[in-house]
């Protein structure tokens, strides 16, 4: 009798909150983890302001967050060795432990046993928080309800800022189905950071619709609703025939007040946030999108309600919106930054940074080295801020709350690529784009995950870290999805990281705005393009006009030629690499090889005619 048990373990006030929800599965779930984790106290977080305030205060009382000078601002530190997603110890649990390419799997019963052993009595003496959310807009076709159990007030607080609260939805809808998340930060050290990192585990149980994270605090591991949920929704989307993607969602302002919406998939630290936050356009979401076919139209929503963004490099000139949010008395959690006299500082903020303070390594001074002898920068490269979307002046609030989502005009794929792709290219069609753009993303690695930086890595749809299903099935679903649509979104590839012969950057940070404006015009059939072996490229005249109109900059033919030269040998090498990847995987849709082969053929023919490095003017 779960309710009887819960009545024993919860105080009267908390019990009343749970009793209001009629959901046997919820009772069982909560009972089970109270029993296993054995907290000394349980707090049920409803949608009320009071409950939210309670959580915020707990984060301070338990010293997981500390107040900064600006009202509303707090700082949280993760353990020095717990600063990014732990891919090594993240497992997708499958009943037979079948081989899933690029995914670390574990046999379900073994994984569940391992994680549950770690969870036993892990919350002794601690408070358990139970929270209710909706991924995607509440009570919409996109809604995926979720329940989080955590012993971290910091994580509970973060989620209250990042997701749509949905206790009320659970009350109104008896027996609602939901995703389940269990997190414990485990034992803490004197700085209140997770101590037993050798026992850090993240397990995704697809069959049980549950994800677990233990002995870690870093939000990418622990915020159940974010990346753990993402792995569950990728699986759900596959089963139900829609797309759950690692994509921002933004509106681009076109002529005469028109707005066209785009999603964009980029690996971490490759310009995703800076694209959707670009000045003058409309932000809807910065990380995760659900895309569904509604009456033959692709429609998209932001899964989340806030931003967990990288703070390194955020400066007044390049990121005015984020900068302003971070300098206003809004509720903001800074994580793994440098704090000096109650003020947060981060790398490359464009201001002088004091040579002492406290950061993710503890007391810090300029030149301090870590155990491995590496010099510790003021803030961690993956230091972040957590903020609600509603603080952002560039937010498209209507789009964020639209239950029917927004009509998706285009999908953008990008990676960190110094030598192969041009700055922007439009695919010939959905299938060509899915295969030669999205499924061919390669990116030079960054600091968002533990491990070496600067290595070129295949990263299909920028989703590889989160994939929970077979790549072949994933691609098949993608290809099918486009076929169902009357007018599928156009697919574009961008590359902000292209370099010239001497290693110099070929583009400036703001150029991406021009590519967006060009995409909008393409979507509406208002500019022509040149047809090349890899897709449609912009014409010089159109870009020159856009550079002038939008950025008031002269754009030279020389720049255009350098940026948009078709680098045939590099593109052919890339096709080889990508083909090899797919050849090594069993069950890949045949369209993948067809598109790659055809592109290779087009490139080889062009090479015969024009040579290795082909000026875009040759295609006029």
Per DSSP, the three-state class of 440 is helix
What's the closest the beta carbon of residue 303 comes to Mn ion, in angstroms?
11
Residue of 89, 126, 165, 226 interacting with ligand SPV (CB under 6 A): 226
**By CB under 6 A, residue 204 contacts ligand SPV:** no
**Part in contact with ligand SPV (CB under 6 A); list of ranges 136-144, 220-228, 500-508, 540-548:** 220-228
What's the closest the beta carbon of residue 259 comes to Mn ion, in angstroms?
24
CB 540 within 8 A of CB 528: no
Per DSSP, the three-state class of 158 is helix
CA dist 79 → 188, 312, 425 (Å): 9, 18, 42
CB 249 within 8 A of CB 401: no
Bridge partners, residue 613, by sequence? 567
Residue 308, contacted partner among ligand SPV, Mn ion, none, CB below 5-8 A by kind: ligand SPV
Looking at the Cβ atoms of 411 and 606, the one nearer to Mn ion is: 411
Residue 522, contacted partner among ligand SPV, Mn ion, none, CB below 5-8 A by kind: none
Number of residues binding to ligand SPV, judged by CB under 6 A: 9
Please state, in angstroms and rounded to a whole number, the distance separating the CA atoms of residues 331 and 387.
7
Looking at the Cβ atoms of 87 and 195, the one nearer to ligand SPV is: 87
Looking at the Cβ atoms of 127 and 287, the one nearer to Mn ion is: 287
Single out the catalytic residue among 270, 276, 355, 366. 270
Q: Which residues contact 607 (CB under 8 A, 6 or more apart)?
A: 568, 572, 614
Residue 226, contacted partner among ligand SPV, Mn ion, none, CB below 5-8 A by kind: ligand SPV
Residue 220, contacted partner among Mn ion, ligand SPV, none, CB below 5-8 A by kind: ligand SPV
Looking at the Cβ atoms of 245 and 287, the one nearer to Mn ion is: 287
Site residues for Mn ion, 275-294, by CB under 5 A, read 287
Looking at the Cβ atoms of 36 and 135, the one nearer to ligand SPV is: 135
Please state, in angstroms and rounded to a whole number, the distance separating the CA atoms of residues 72 and 549.
40
Looking at the Cβ atoms of 336 and 436, the one nearer to Mn ion is: 336
Dihedral (C-alpha) 163, 434, 416, 549: value to the nearest 10 degrees? -80
CB 520 within 8 A of CB 254: yes
CB 471 within 8 A of CB 106: no
**Part in contact with ligand SPV (CB under 6 A); list of ranges 129-137, 218-226, 251-259, 452-460:** 218-226
Residue of 287, 442, 542, 595 interacting with ligand SPV (CB under 6 A): 287
Residue 281, contacted partner among Mn ion, ligand SPV, none, CB below 5-8 A by kind: none
- Burial track 360-385 (b if 16+ CB lie within 10 A, e otherwise): bbeebeeebeeeeeeebbbbbbbbbb
Residue of 137, 145, 220, 616 interacting with ligand SPV (CB under 6 A): 220
Site residues for ligand SPV, 421-480, by CB under 6 A, read 448
- Give, for 250, the enclosing helix (H) or strand (E): strand 248-253
Site residues for ligand SPV, 252-271, by CB under 6 A, read 268
Site residues for ligand SPV, 52-111, by CB under 6 A, read 85
Residue of 227, 236, 360, 567 interacting with ligand SPV (CB under 6 A): 227
**292 class by beta-carbon count within 10 Å (0-12 exposed, 13-18 middle, 19+ buried):** buried
37 a catalytic residue: no
CB 386 within 8 A of CB 162: yes
Looking at the Cβ atoms of 42 and 387, the one nearer to ligand SPV is: 387
Q: Hunting for tokens 């109109």 — which residue is that?
A: 549
**By CB under 6 A, residue 305 contacts ligand SPV:** no
Give the pairing of strands 41-45 and 144-150.
unpaired
Residue of 27, 132, 308, 564 interacting with ligand SPV (CB under 6 A): 308
**By CB under 5 A, residue 64 contacts Mn ion:** no
What's the closest the beta carbon of residue 409 comes to ligand SPV, in angstroms?
24
What's the closest the beta carbon of residue 511 comes to ligand SPV, in angstroms?
23
- Give, for 399, the enclosing helix (H) or strand (E): helix 397-401
Residue of 18, 59, 130, 219 interacting with ligand SPV (CB under 6 A): 219
Residue 409, contacted partner among ligand SPV, Mn ion, none, CB below 5-8 A by kind: none
Site residues for Mn ion, 71-90, by CB under 5 A, read none
β strands within 10-94, DSSP E: 41-45, 66-67, 73-76, 90-94
CB 579 within 8 A of CB 593: yes
CB 382 within 8 A of CB 370: no
Nearest residue relative to ligand SPV (C-beta) = 220
What's the closest the beta carbon of residue 465 comes to Mn ion, in angstroms?
8
Bridge partners, residue 251, by sequence? 261, 282
CA dist 246 → 108, 125, 451 (Å): 25, 37, 21
Q: Using CB under 5 A as the criterion, which residues of the chain lie in contact with Mn ion when the complex forms? A: 287
Q: Which residues are catalytic?
A: 270
Q: Using CB under 6 A as the criterion, which residues of the chain lie in contact with ligand SPV when the complex forms? A: 85, 219-220, 226-227, 268, 287, 308, 448
């Amino acid at each position: 009798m779960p309710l009887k048990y819960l009545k024993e373990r919860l105080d009267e006030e908390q019990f009343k909150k749970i009793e209001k929800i009629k959901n046997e599965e919820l009772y069982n779930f909560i009972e089970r983890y109270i029993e296993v984790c054995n907290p000394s106290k349980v707090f049920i977080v409803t949608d009320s302001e009071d409950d939210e305030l309670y959580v915020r205060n707990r984060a301070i009382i338990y010293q997981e967050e500390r107040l900064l000078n600006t009202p509303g601002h707090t700082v949280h530190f993760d353990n020095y060795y717990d600063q990014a997603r732990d891919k090594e110890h993240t497992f997708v649990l499958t009943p037979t432990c079948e081989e899933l390419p690029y995914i670390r799997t574990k046999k379900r019963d073994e994984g569940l046993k391992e994680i549950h052993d770690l969870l036993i009595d892990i919350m002794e003496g601690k408070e358990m928080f139970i929270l209710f959310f909706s991924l995607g807009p509440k009570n919409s076709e996109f809604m995926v309800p979720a329940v989080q159990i955590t012993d971290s007030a910091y994580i509970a607080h973060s989620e209250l800022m990042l997701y749509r609260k949905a206790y009320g939805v659970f009350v109104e809808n008896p027996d609602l189905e939901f995703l389940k998340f269990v997190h414990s930060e485990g034992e803490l050290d004197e700085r209140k950071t997770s101590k037993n990192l050798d026992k850090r585990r993240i397990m995704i149980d697809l069959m049980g619709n549950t994800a677990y994270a233990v002995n870690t605090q870093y939000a990418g591991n622990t915020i159940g609703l974010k990346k753990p949920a993402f792995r569950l929704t990728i699986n759900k989307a596959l089963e139900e025939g829609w797309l759950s993607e690692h994509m921002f969602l933004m509106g681009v302002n076109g002529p005469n007040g028109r707005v066209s919406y785009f999603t964009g998939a980029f690996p971490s630290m490759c310009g995703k946030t800076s694209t959707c936050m670009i000045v003058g356009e409309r932000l809807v979401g910065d990380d995760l999108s659900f895309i569904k076919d509604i009456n033959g139209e692709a429609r998209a929503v932001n899964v989340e309600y806030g931003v967990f963004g990288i703070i390194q490099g955020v400066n007044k000139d390049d990121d005015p919106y984020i900068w302003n949010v971070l300098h206003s008395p809004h509720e903001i959690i800074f994580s793994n930054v440098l704090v000096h006299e109650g003020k947060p500082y981060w790398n490359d903020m464009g201001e002088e940074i004091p040579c002492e303070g406290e950061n993710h390594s503890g007391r810090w001074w300029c030149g301090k080295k870590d155990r491995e002898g590496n010099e510790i920068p003021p803030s961690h490269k993956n230091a972040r801020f957590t903020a609600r979307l509603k603080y952002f002046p560039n937010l498209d609030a209507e789009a964020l709350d639209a239950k029917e989502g927004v009509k998706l005009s285009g999908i953008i794929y990008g990676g960190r690529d110094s030598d192969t792709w041009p700055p922007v290219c439009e695919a010939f069609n959905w299938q060509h784009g899915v295969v030669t753009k999205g499924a061919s993303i390669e990116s030079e690695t960054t600091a968002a995950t533990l491990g070496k930086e600067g290595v070129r890595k295949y990263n299909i749809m920028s989703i590889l870290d989160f994939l929970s299903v077979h790549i072949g099935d994933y691609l098949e679903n993608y290809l099918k999805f486009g076929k169902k649509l009357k007018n599928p979104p156009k697919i574009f590839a961008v590359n902000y990281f292209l370099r010239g012969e001497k290693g110099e950057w070929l583009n400036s940070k703001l150029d991406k705005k021009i590519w967006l404006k060009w995409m909008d015009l393409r979507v509406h059939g208002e500019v022509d393009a040149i047809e090349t072996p890899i897709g449609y490229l912009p014409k010089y005249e159109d870009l020159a006009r856009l550079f002038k109109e939008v950025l008031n900059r002269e754009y030279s033919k020389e720049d255009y030629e350098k940026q948009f030269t078709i680098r045939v040998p590099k593109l052919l090498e890339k096709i080889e690499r990508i083909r090899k990847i797919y050849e090594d995987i069993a069950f890949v849709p045949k369209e993948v090889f067809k598109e790659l082969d055809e592109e290779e053929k087009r490139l080889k023919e062009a090479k015969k005619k024009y040579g290795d490095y082909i000026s875009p003017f040759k295609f006029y």
